[in-house]
Amino acid sequence: MKQIELKGFKVNEVRFVNKIQGNRKLELANKYSYNVGYSKVNTCKGEFRAEVFDKADPEQFSITVVLEGFFVTAADMEKEILHVKTYDALFPYVKSFVSSLTVNAGIPPVMIPYVDISGQNIYRVEMPFKPNNE
């Protein structure tokens, strides 16, 4: 078995504001948060929140996406490694969603940048997750 296996994902929340008038150039900022809830049966749920907004006026342009992924994991994985691997597995789906959303809204695609969290401190707060079969 792989260390992690993505079994599925869903988008829980989308907020899109595009009130930009004319050909104004945007200076975008990105903010991410990622949390993992663990169960006792080698499964976990990751929640990825991505925010993109205009630095000058976030009320005129902003995107918020909350995507949730469900994983089966190896029994002996350290939680810090699991955290990074599940983040890495979900990031492409968040990036694709933001890009598709903006293209389908008739504006140039917004491509959010990858942030490598493997070297960052991960703050652990145990948040239990109960899968449907537990």
Residue 40 makes CB contacts below 8 A (sequence gap 6+) with 134
CATH of the domain at 38: 3.10.420.10
Q: Cβ(124)–Cβ(34) under 8 Å?
A: no
Tokens found for residue 87 = 């983040």
Name the pairing type of β-strands 61-73 and 43-54. antiparallel
In a domain, 26, yes or no: yes
Q: Tell me the whole-structure pTM to 2 decimals.
A: 0.85
pLDDT of residue 80: 86
Give the other-Cβ count within 10 Å of 82's Cβ. 20
Count structural domains, the chain.
Answer: 1
In a domain, 119, yes or no: no
Q: Which of 35-39, 71-75, 86-90, 115-119 has the highest mean pLDDT?
A: 86-90
In a domain, 50, yes or no: yes
In a domain, 64, yes or no: yes
Only one residue has tokens 């949390």, namely: 35
In a domain, 13, yes or no: yes
pLDDT of residue 119: 72
Closest CA to 129 of 10, 14, 46: 46
What is residue 108's DSSP assignment? Answer: P
> Does the pLDDT value for residue 122 go beyond 80?
no
Question: Predicted confidence band at 27 (pLDDT cuts at 50, 70, 90)?
Answer: very high
In a domain, 81, yes or no: yes
In a domain, 130, yes or no: no
**Tens digits of residue pLDDT in 28-82:** 999 999 999 988 889 999 999 999 999 999 999 999 999 999 999 998 888 888 9
Q: Residue 50: which domain range?
A: 4-104
Amino acid at 112: I
> Does the pLDDT value for residue 102 go beyond 70?
yes
In a domain, 112, yes or no: no
